[in-house]
Amino acid sequence: MTILVLGVALWWAAHLLKSVTPRLRDGMTERMGEAGARGVIAGLVLLSVVLMVVGFVWAPFQHLYTPPSWAVHVNNVAMLVAIYLLGLGHSSGRARRWLRHPMLLGVIVWAGAHLLANGDLAALILFGGLAAWAIVSMLLINMREGAWRRPDAGSARGDVKHIVLTVVIFAVFAGVHMLVGPSPFPGG
């Protein structure tokens, strides 16, 4: 479980470095240049993902609660929403104007869906930890940047492309889950 906790903590640290310790981040940029500092942060994020995956897989199962039988269905619908939100800010559609933090909201939906469908301590640490990070990130961004300026509206065609891409990515994720992890579908 230590590896999992370390991975979640490193994720928080790497992502919040600029917001929480701007002088440290500025010092990194001065010493290494912008590309070097970004490279170090990217390396820390990658390491955190590896630690989270390995830590989650290796974590002993410690039951906390029994998910309801319908949770798997809600999880699948929520995952479609989460994938949609994760890409919304980079879409070329009109919908990108709806939300200030679509990617962070996508993380929260993803984490909430997985907390609903899993009832163990490792899931609570991983998904709860990332949901909490997303909430803190939104608050820090709002404090740092102030009022939100909505992006320009895109096209309806961009919205349709984004929906199609969301369904394709969901199918890929579901397929990978079926191959290497627990099936996201009942009886799978």
Q: Are residues 115 and 186 part of one domain?
A: yes
> What values do phi and psi take at 9, rounded to 5?
-65, -40
CA gap 134, 138 in Å, rounded = 6
Span 8-58, pLDDT tens digits: 999 999 999 888 887 877 787 788 888 888 888 899 999 999 999 999 999
Q: Are residues 73 and 46 part of one domain?
A: no
Q: Are residues 55 and 134 part of one domain?
A: no
Q: Are residues 68 and 53 part of one domain?
A: no
- Chosen domain end from 34, 59, 84: 59
Report the pLDDT value the prediction gives residue 188, as an integer from 0 to 100. 57
Structural tokens at position 76:
């699948």
Q: Are residues 143 and 65 part of one domain?
A: yes
Give Cα separations from 62 to 5, 11, 17, 48, 154 (angstroms): 15, 23, 32, 22, 47
Domain count, the chain: 2
| Inter-residue contact 76 to 32 (CB < 8 Å) | no
Q: Are residues 133 and 47 part of one domain?
A: no
Domain of 9 in residue numbering reads as: 1-59
Span 97-122, pLDDT tens digits: 899 999 999 999 999 999 999 999 99
Q: Are residues 25 and 82 part of one domain?
A: no
DSSP state at residue 95: G
